[in-house]
């Protein structure tokens, strides 16, 4: 009887602490897996593998910016180093031949995830994977799927409401323009780590509707440098950009300087 009690206690402690009783490596059981896609492609599926051979997966054709509400359960993972095999689809290429073979782009990312305290039970133990445009992946323990980090749909929605015909002069399908917007916004993250929706609204506005190389203007580079790590301030400054500078951007008459370094 005492032996049974000991093993029951050991099992409960393992679940609470997230540690394997016979290893210094953390063990996480009863995991639900959710993916958050910030790439400009559709995230078809992904598989996490630890060095012990345990696997967990998710996906489900997540469009750019999607992930909230999509969950798979229940998995066990062990350790602090993981390999993520993930597959994306260029939706614009897919639509050229939707009945042909699916052309997936396979990516492999290795993730180091230091030991974390895991709370809750099965169904509330969520490991969120954040897939970024530069192909790096971040792990995060969370208790729900709310709170995507880059809101591509909000950025596109604002541009569509505010600049509809200017944004889409050819009358393309909304989904096509959305993907165009997501690609440009993803570039704003890749170059300058912009995630705030106000920052990305104005980044995409200037890149799509004024000058695709607007960020090579010395004044814009100065704004990027001054607003680094200050969410919302780049957007606020660009919204109030002096008319003479806007005119230079529209006419593409300014000294271009190399972009992409201000937010290192």
**HEC-encoded secondary structure of the chain:** CHHHHHHHHHHHHHHHHCECCCCCCEEEEEEEEEEEECCCCEEEEEEEEECCCCEEEEEEEECCCCCCCCCEEEEEEECCEEEEEEEEECHHHHHHCCCCCCCEEEEEEEEECCCCCCCCCCCCCEEEEEECCCCCEEEEEECCCCCCCCCHHHHHHHHHHHHHHHHCCCCCCHHHHHHHHHHHHHHHHHHHCCCCHHHHHHHHHHHHHHCCCHHHCHHHHHHHHHCCCCCCHHHHHHHCCCHHHHHHHHHCCCCCCCCCCCCC
Q: Which of 115, 142, 169 delimits the end of a domain?
A: 142
Do residue 137 and residue 204 come from a single domain? no
Residue 38 has pLDDT above 80, yes or no: yes
**126 and 74 co-located in one domain:** yes
Question: Do 53 and 75 reside in the same domain of the chain?
Answer: yes
Mark whether 113 and 191 lie in a shared domain. Answer: no
Do 124 and 247 belong to one domain? no
Q: Is 110 exposed, middle or buried, given 0-12, 13-18 or 19+ CB atoms closer than 10 A? A: exposed
Q: Name, of 62-71, 89-98, 235-244, the range with top average pLDDT.
A: 235-244
Q: pTM score, two decimals?
A: 0.85
Looking at residue 71, its pLDDT comes to: 72
Please give the average per-residue pLDDT across 82-106, as a whole number: 89
Does residue 264 lie in a domain region?
no
Whole-angstrom distance, CA of residue 148 vs CA of residue 67: 7
**Cis, bond preceding 74 (omega within 30 deg of 0):** yes
Nearest to 48 by CA among 61, 31, 69: 31
Record the tokens describing residue 75, joined without a space: 């998995």
Determine the length of the chain: 264
Residue 46 resides in a domain: yes
pLDDT in tens, 172-189: 999 999 999 999 999 999
Same domain, 158 and 133: no
pLDDT digits (tens, 9 = 90+) for 193-210: 999 999 999 999 999 999
Residues 167 and 107 grouped into a single domain: no
In a domain, residue 259? The reply is no
| pLDDT, mean over the chain | 88
Distance CA 118, CA 113 (A): 13
Burial of 106 (0-12, 13-18, 19+ CB in 10 A): exposed
CB-based contact 4:39 (threshold 8 Å): no
Answer whether residue 262 is part of any domain: no
Domain that holds residue 98: 2-142
Local confidence band at 99 (pLDDT 50, 70, 90 cut-offs): confident
The alpha carbon of 39 is separated from its chain's Cα centroid by a whole number of angstroms, namely 6
Q: Domains in the chain: how many in total?
A: 2
How much is the pLDDT for 22?
52
């Amino acid at each position: 009887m005492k032996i049974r009690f000991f093993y029951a206690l050991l099992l409960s402690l393992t679940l609470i602490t997230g540690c394997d009783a016979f290893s210094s490596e953390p063990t996480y059981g009863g995991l639900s897996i959710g993916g958050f896609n910030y790439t400009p492609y559709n995230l078809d599926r992904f598989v996490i593998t630890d060095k012990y051979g345990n696997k967990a997966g998710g996906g489900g054709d997540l469009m750019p910016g999607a992930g909230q509400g999509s969950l798979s359960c229940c998995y066990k993972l062990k350790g602090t180093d993981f390999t993520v095999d993930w597959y994306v689809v260029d939706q614009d290429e897919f639509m050229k031949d939707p009945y042909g073979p699916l052309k997936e782009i396979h990516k492999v990312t290795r993730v180091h995830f230091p030991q974390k305290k895991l709370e809750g039970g099965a169904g509330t133990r969520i490991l969120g994977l954040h897939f970024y445009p530069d192909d790096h992946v971040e792990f995060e323990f969370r208790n729900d799927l709310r709170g995507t980090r880059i809101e591509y749909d909000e950025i596109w929605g604002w541009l569509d409401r505010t600049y509809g015909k200017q944004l889409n002069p050819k009358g393309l399908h909304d989904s096509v323009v959305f993907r165009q917007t997501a690609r440009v916004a993803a570039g704003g993250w890749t170059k300058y780590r912009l995630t705030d929706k106000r920052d990305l609204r104005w980044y995409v506005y200037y890149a799509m509707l004024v000058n695709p190389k607007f960020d090579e203007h010395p004044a814009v580079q100065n704004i990027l440098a001054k607003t680094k790590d200050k969410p919302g301030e780049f957007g606020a400054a660009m919204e109030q950009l002096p008319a003479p500078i806007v005119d230079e951007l529209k006419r593409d008459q300014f000294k271009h300087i190399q972009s992409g370094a201000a937010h290192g």
